[in-house]
Amino acid sequence: MRDLSALPNLNIALVQTSLAWHDRQANLEHFELLLEQAKGADLIVLPEMFTTGFSMESATLAEPEHGPTHHWLKAQAAKYNAVITGSVIIQAADGSHRNRLLWARPDGEVLHYDKRHLFRMAGEHHHYTPGERQVQFEVKGWRIRPLICYDLRFPVWSRDAQDTDLLLYTANWPGARRLHWNRLLPARAIENLCYVAAVNRVGMDGKGFAYTGDSQVLDFQGETLLSAGEADGVFQVNLDAAELAAYRTRFPANLDADTFQFV
């Protein structure tokens, strides 16, 4: 059995900022400056569609699987000796367009997760193909499961079935639904007995929607460890595996969880 308490602390950096509309180069240059403030982090998290903003112009904006942002992430991950992640509009090898989270490791490997739940109120399901599987990645022995924005509303998809230590959400979540964001995130932490980290953007997008941030990190009881509010910047926090292990021992509600399978 894995000894969770023996894992080192995990330092996470959340990058909450405004995004230039449909301008990949401007966004990458902006993030290069911000990443200087994330030195020392093990995991650096960028917002959803961080090179474009939340856009339905997938046919115009999609990059190939090994396109410029893929290579940029690899270079930054190597430079900072950290995993760097965020989602990008990608044209997959089969020709489909994906809202794809890229997980760039400092050793040069780039893994991915495709957003499962597409936001139909914006027509995302007409412009992108949904992902078909959950994924779990590791950093310093920590088991981390990434999800994207609208996935947050679906507890079955978020439900831990792999002894996850950290649920990670990257988003473009509008201020109009700020209340939902701030209530659903603690629920996911509590029901899964794990840490939750969530990164949102700030500012106005090209469609006139305002984003109010609220990037945050929560512990396994839904208590706030970090809250960025509406500020633009880089925010770091350390997660303690021993505290998580101790809580799961004291309150092993996971042992009574229902079993299920995806159809």
**What are the structural domains, with CATH classification, of the chain?**
10-256 (3.60.110.10)
Using DSSP's 3-state secondary structure scheme, residue 260 falls into coil
What are the tens digits of pLDDT across the range 35-63?
999 999 999 999 999 999 999 999 999 99
Q: Are 99 and 148 in contact, with CB atoms under 8 Å apart?
A: yes
SS (H, E, C) 110-151: EEEEECCCCCHHHCHHHHCCCCCCCCCEEECCEEEEEEEHHH
Overall size of the chain counted in residues: 263
Average of pLDDT values for 153-159? Answer: 94
Here the tokens at position 124 are 């995302």
Tell me, what's the pLDDT at 186? 98
- Measuring CA to CA, which residue among 121, 181, 131, 175 is closest to residue 152? 181
**57 catalytically annotated:** no
Tell me, what amino acid is at 177? R
pTM exceeds 0.95 for this model: yes
Q: Which of 74, 124, 149, 194 is catalytic?
A: 149
pLDDT at 261: 81
pLDDT recorded at residue 162: 65
44 contacts 15 by C-beta, under 8 angstroms: yes
Distance in angstroms (rounded) separating the CA atoms of residues 157 and 135:
11
Catalytic site residue 132?
no
| Encoded amino acid at 249, one letter | T
Is 194 among the residues known to form the active site?
no
| Catalytic pick among 36, 63, 74, 115 | 115
Give me the catalytic one of 32, 36, 39, 48: 48
Main-chain phi, psi angles of 257, to 5 degrees: -70, 150
Q: Single out the residue of 20, 115, 17, 35 nearest to residue 72, CA to CA.
A: 35
Decide if pLDDT at 234 tops 80. Answer: yes
Percent of the chain with pLDDT over 90: 93
Q: Quick one: pLDDT at residue 161?
A: 59
Pull the structure tokens for residue 28: 């990458």
